[in-house]
Chains A and B, each alone.
Chain A
């Protein structure tokens, strides 16, 4: 072997070895001690980094789980109870069963029900439009239809229906991470308890105006008449500020409230069809 080659091999080897040694010692000296369980717990988490748990990413949540005394108040909505039991097993703690939830859009103000009175032609962002004025309709609580919630969803669980101008939630994909709830400037979206067969009963309105103006703006608005409240035997319905609210944790799906609503504001989804009955329609003051 020529001396050049030999010299090259030796000098490069020496360089490589010294670099390795330096790195090794530096790594040892500046090493930050981390509980090895954090890595284990992080592996058991879904790894979506969606923030649904309330922490900034799965690793932060894993750290919180390791440090926490009990799992009370700590839940990963994406992984659900399965993931929480796995994490509990690793840490030798008791998992807390949390009932799964799903996002629900509490507005049914389609262009048919809720006529448009102005045309918004600014930037299609819900926060910008909400800061500017009440919206394209006379209901200043209703959905603006610009899709900030859809953009916030990381799980492909939402899309904007161009005909109804309302967001649609795909129940199978929704993990109740809460991103859409935070994104909506009007707090229209709510995380409700998930029921079997994706059944839902809820008041599809959050309008707090008095009955007259509310109905004038939207045909299916809640007018706060309290008829639903009166028939509920499970204390699931509360009336506040001219608005009815059905608590998904208390509701037993007896379906007594839905036919009472004079404006069809209460929606019941994925139930078997009712037997058709004669119903008297309550007529309200028309425009």
Chain B
């Protein structure tokens, strides 16, 4: 019997069209745009200026404070400008624009293809390496990994969880990474285990990837303390609270973190990046991005350098289909719709889903029929219909006591609503108001 989380969840169609597409290396673009804020926390501060020559792997913006991350150049060339450019946030942000010349790397970076299994770094050295190399969560959250690995005094961790679930429809970058670079992922896992001081790790993979499960299980037999678990296919299994509940049956308390229940969760992509950082001295400058959609000529999984404009990726997949109505950065359930393909790939972009006009159009909203399907679907035990009404009518304080801040914005409620009510739109607005109220209260 496969494990799963008991409460809530929906079953959107999987559409893993690109699951069989082997990862391809995308050729270098002519110009890359690297935002200084690709992570949660303070944006990095640029240390290069217009006209400077840079090499691939060179640090170009330094982390500002503990919850921040370094940014490295993904290419070699000359800095064109440091200016505000439109990026995936929907607004113009400060970016370092580099004209690409050749592909020279800084010294120390090991570009050889051999897999290095042994390492003798201490836990602190590993955490410092992650910080130096700009490693952030690759599942989309982009939380700086060195912060996640630095447990505050008093918090102990007894198991590491590796997230290979990829519950979003369409996305397959993690799937392909596990199939093609499984060993590196597991080495990265052991490195993370050392950093956290645990001797047990669990890799969670959804049952719709049986090849990945068997491949990883086989590889994991060579590693001490790593177990691979197949999980029932249910969205949002990949959200960390639900993954923790399914694998070790512990519930992260409201407002708390996974370390409160003795665990830390990292994406398989992050584990891979940690391997490259620690064993190969390679900073985080490229990642696998899935380009997919029902009408796309050639769904692909591309390995691209950070900063490559998305137009290049869509070109490699065969070009933008005629009737595209919406382009989503991420999966269709939690991803962000983008207005232009001129924006760059960042550390957090795991895929691009191209939805045709007919499916992209939102259906007409009806009145709430109080069917309670949103309540059955909510994995956090909230009442989305109520949170929407409270926000619409302006009851901001009541929303807080109804636990609106617990909402993970997974989208299950809006998905299942038979009346097509924009539940998550309003809940997001309510969280924004409530966040402001909480911050004002903390300042007093």
Q: Which residues of chain A have a CB within 8 Å of any CB of chain B? A: 117-118, 121-123, 125, 127-128, 131-134, 140, 209
Q: A118-B339, A134-B91 are known contacts; what are 14 more A-B pairs with Cβ within 8 Å?
A: A117-B339, A117-B340, A121-B361, A123-B426, A125-B429, A127-B429, A127-B432, A128-B429, A131-B428, A131-B432, A132-B336, A133-B89, A133-B339, A134-B90
Query: What CA separation (Å) do A132 and B336 show in the bound complex?
Result: 9
- Neighbour of B429 across the interface among A118, A131, A209, CB < 8 A: A131
Chain A nearest Cβ from B435, distance in angstroms: 11
Chain B nearest Cβ from A2, distance in angstroms: 56
Which 10 pairs show the lowest CB-CB distances between chains A and B?
A133-B90, A118-B339, A123-B425, A123-B422, A128-B429, A134-B91, A121-B362, A140-B91, A134-B90, A122-B425
Chain B nearest Cβ from A226, distance in angstroms: 21
Do A209 and B339 have beta carbons less than 8 Å apart?
Answer: no
Query: What CA separation (Å) do A123 and B92 show in the bound complex?
Result: 23
Q: B407-440 toward A: CB 8 Å interface, digit per residue (1/0)?
A: 0000000000000001001101100100000000
Query: What CA separation (Å) do A125 and B339 show in the bound complex?
Result: 18
Q: Give the residues in chain B near A209, CB-CB below 8 Å.
A: 84, 92
Chain B nearest Cβ from A182, distance in angstroms: 13
Chain B nearest Cβ from A28, distance in angstroms: 35
Most buried by A among B339, B361, B425, B432: B339
Q: B84-122 toward A: CB 8 Å interface, digit per residue (1/0)?
A: 101001111000000000000000000000000000000
Give A138's nearest chain B residue, CB to CB: B86
B contact residues, range = 10 to 19
Q: Give the residues in chain A near B426, CB-CB below 8 Å.
A: 123, 128
Do B432 and A133 have beta carbons less than 8 Å apart?
Answer: no
Do A122 and B340 have beta carbons less than 8 Å apart?
Answer: no
Give B84's nearest chain A residue, CB to CB: A209
Query: What CA separation (Å) do A122 and B363 show in the bound complex?
Result: 11
Q: B357-379 toward A: CB 8 Å interface, digit per residue (1/0)?
A: 00001100000000000000000
Query: What CA separation (Å) do A223 and B89 show in the bound complex?
Result: 24
Query: What CA separation (Å) do A131 and B84 show in the bound complex?
Result: 18
Query: What CA separation (Å) do A127 and B392 show in the bound complex?
Result: 12
Give A118's nearest chain B residue, CB to CB: B339
Give A137's nearest chain B residue, CB to CB: B339
Give B89's nearest chain A residue, CB to CB: A133
Q: Give the residues in chain A near B92, CB-CB below 8 Å.
A: 134, 140, 209
Query: What CA separation (Å) do A127 and B89 show in the bound complex?
Result: 16
Query: What CA separation (Å) do A122 and B362 show in the bound complex?
Result: 8
Q: Give the residues in chain A near B422, CB-CB below 8 Å.
A: 122-123
Q: Give the residues in chain B near A127, CB-CB below 8 Å.
A: 429, 432
Q: Give the residues in chain B near A131, CB-CB below 8 Å.
A: 428-429, 432
Scan residues 58-84 of chain B and give those whose CB is less than 8 A from a CB of chain A: 84
Query: What CA separation (Å) do A125 and B84 show in the bound complex?
Result: 27
Query: What CA separation (Å) do A95 and B425 show in the bound complex?
Result: 47
Q: Give the residues in chain A near B428, CB-CB below 8 Å.
A: 128, 131
Query: What CA separation (Å) do A125 and B391 show in the bound complex?
Result: 12
Query: What CA separation (Å) do A122 and B429 show in the bound complex?
Result: 12
Query: What CA separation (Å) do A131 and B426 show in the bound complex?
Result: 12
Do A128 and B425 have beta carbons less than 8 Å apart?
Answer: yes
Q: Give the residues in chain B near A117, CB-CB below 8 Å.
A: 339-340
Query: What CA separation (Å) do A188 and B316 show in the bound complex?
Result: 42
Chain B nearest Cβ from A254, distance in angstroms: 35
Do B91 and A133 have beta carbons less than 8 Å apart?
Answer: yes
Query: What CA separation (Å) do A132 and B91 show in the bound complex?
Result: 9
Chain A nearest Cβ from B146, distance in angstroms: 29
Give B92's nearest chain A residue, CB to CB: A140
Chain A nearest Cβ from B390, distance in angstroms: 15
Q: List 22 A-B contacts (CB under 8 A).
A: A117-B339, A117-B340, A118-B339, A122-B422, A123-B425, A123-B426, A125-B425, A127-B429, A127-B432, A128-B425, A128-B426, A128-B428, A128-B429, A131-B429, A132-B336, A133-B91, A133-B339, A134-B86, A134-B90, A134-B92, A134-B339, A209-B92
Give B360's nearest chain A residue, CB to CB: A121
Scan residues 319-357 of chain B and give those whose CB is less than 8 A from a CB of chain A: 336, 339-340
Chain B nearest Cβ from A50, distance in angstroms: 15
Most buried by B among A122, A123, A140: A123
Chain A nearest Cβ from B244, distance in angstroms: 29
Query: What CA separation (Å) do A127 and B425 show in the bound complex?
Result: 11
Q: Give the residues in chain B near A121, CB-CB below 8 Å.
A: 361-362
Query: What CA separation (Å) do A122 and B336 show in the bound complex?
Result: 12
Query: What CA separation (Å) do A5 and B428 show in the bound complex?
Result: 66
Give A122's nearest chain B residue, CB to CB: B425
Chain A nearest Cβ from B50, distance in angstroms: 15
Query: What CA separation (Å) do A209 and B94 show in the bound complex?
Result: 12
Do A132 and B361 have beta carbons less than 8 Å apart?
Answer: no
Query: What CA separation (Å) do A134 and B84 show in the bound complex?
Result: 13
Give A133's nearest chain B residue, CB to CB: B90
Give B365's nearest chain A residue, CB to CB: A123
Chain B nearest Cβ from A145, distance in angstroms: 16
Query: What CA separation (Å) do A127 and B340 show in the bound complex?
Result: 21
Query: What CA separation (Å) do A24 and B90 show in the bound complex?
Result: 65
